[in-house]
């Protein structure tokens, strides 16, 4: 097969190069967890085609999933009107998401484009997963400290079956303190796995169109229980040090 680009940000890599790149990212990520390039690299390398194909097929089997694949919405500060979200009533999903962005001091633009997935449609599926990641935080109320990140990954793994999310949830706890780990296993994992498995396919949610909806109603529709105890509050109570 040729090494032609299948979409603008595509970087075609093949066979052995792919392996080497995967290994490099893995070591890079362990040594420099603060460098986001390594993490996203692993994500793409481990998002094996069969897994992405399965997620894509679950989208193709669902009306909204197909609509998303057809319209290919992107989530950026341009496509999302943050001022509008700010103006929404506090109990709406949109406003919750806005508050979450504020509290975590992030913006919808902090997502990296997909480079290493060959099929253009699968690349979009992965991009979509990446861009919806913050919505998963918002709906579960989990912060982006390492501990919260692991918990969201567990939630996503249970829902999507993405190996990267799974590996993150299994391997990363070793970087936590004993106390954080216990809290993760006792409080967050049970919530994440049971909700991730039982709620509707998150990839088939057109989040952009749920902004005006009351967050409790949205959770009910998706089959998600009320969020786990606020992690930041628990951490404060424990006087834990912020990691990220």
Partner 1 sequence: MLRFSIQRSTRYFSTSIPRQQQHLTDVAIIGAGPAGLSLAAALKANPTTKSLSVGLIEGSSLDPVKNFSQSPPENFTNRVSSITAQSVDYLEHIGAWKFIDQARIEPFDNIVAYDGLSNSRIEFDNMEMGTMCENINLQSCLLQRIEELNDPTLKIWDSTKVTNIANDTDDAANGWPVIQLSNGDSVKTRLLVGADGFNSPVRKFAAIESRGWAYDRFGVVASLKLKYEDYRSIAWQRFLPTGPVALLPLPEKNATMVWSTTPELSKLLVGLPEDVFIALANCAFVLPQVDLNYYYTLAQNEEYDELLSDIKWRFENYTSKPTIDIEDFPIALESVIPQSRARFPLKLSHADSYVSNRVALVGDAAHTTHPLAGQGLNMGQGDVKSLVESLELAMKRGLDIGNLLALEPYWAQRWPENHVLLGVVDKLHKLYSIDWSPVVAVRSWGLDVVNSLPMLKDFMMKQVSGK
Instruction: List residues near partner 1 by CB under 8 A.
Output: 4, 6, 57, 60-61, 66, 69-70, 119-121
**Toward partner 1, which CB reaches closer, 122 or 240?**
122
Q: Measured from the CB of residue 60, what is the shortest distance to partner 1 in angstroms?
A: 5
**Toward partner 1, which CB reaches closer, 62 or 107?**
62
Q: Measured from the CB of residue 43, what is the shortest distance to partner 1 in angstroms?
A: 23
| Cα dist from 76 to 49, 120, 177, 200, 212, whole Å | 26, 20, 35, 24, 18
Q: Measured from the CB of residue 102, what is the shortest distance to partner 1 in angstroms?
A: 37
Q: Which of 36, 26, 169, 47 is nearest to 106 (CA)?
A: 36
Annotated binding-site residues for Zn(2+) read: 133-134, 137, 149
| Cα dist from 194 to 124, 157, 172, 197, 218, whole Å | 27, 11, 20, 5, 17
Q: How many CA atoms lie within 13 A of 162 on its CB side?
A: 30
**Toward partner 1, which CB reaches closer, 120 or 221?**
120
**Toward partner 1, which CB reaches closer, 121 or 208?**
121
| Cα dist from 116 to 18, 91, 131, whole Å | 9, 39, 16
Q: Measured from the CB of residue 124, what is the shortest distance to partner 1 in angstroms?
A: 11
């Amino acid at each position: 097969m040729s090494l032609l680009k299948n979409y603008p940000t595509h970087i075609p890599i093949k066979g052995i190069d792919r392996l080497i790149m995967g290994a490099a990212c893995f070591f890079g990520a362990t040594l420099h967890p603060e460098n986001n390039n390594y993490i996203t690299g692993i994500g793409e390398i481990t998002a094996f085609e069969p897994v992405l194909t399965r997620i894509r097929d679950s989208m193709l089997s669902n009306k909204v999933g197909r609509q998303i694949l057809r319209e290919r919405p992107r989530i950026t500060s341009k496509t999302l009107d943050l001022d509008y979200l700010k103006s929404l009533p506090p109990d709406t999903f949109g406003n919750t998401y806005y508050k979450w962005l504020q509290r975590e001091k992030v913006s919808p633009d902090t997502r990296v484009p997909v480079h290493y997935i060959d099929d253009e449609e699968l690349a979009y599926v992965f991009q979509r997963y990446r861009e919806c990641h913050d919505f998963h935080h918002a709906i579960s109320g989990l912060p982006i400290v390492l501990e919260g990140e692991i918990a969201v990954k567990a939630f996503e793994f249970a829902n999507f079956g993405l190996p990267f999310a799974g590996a993150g949830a299994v391997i990363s706890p070793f970087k936590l303190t004993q106390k954080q780990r216990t809290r993760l296993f006792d409080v967050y994992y049970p919530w994440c796995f049971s909700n991730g498995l039982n709620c509707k396919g998150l990839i088939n949610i057109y989040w952009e169109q749920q902004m005006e909806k009351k967050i409790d109603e949205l959770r009910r529709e998706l089959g998600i229980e009320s969020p786990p105890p606020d992690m930041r509050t628990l951490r404060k109570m424990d006087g834990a040090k912020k990691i990220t």
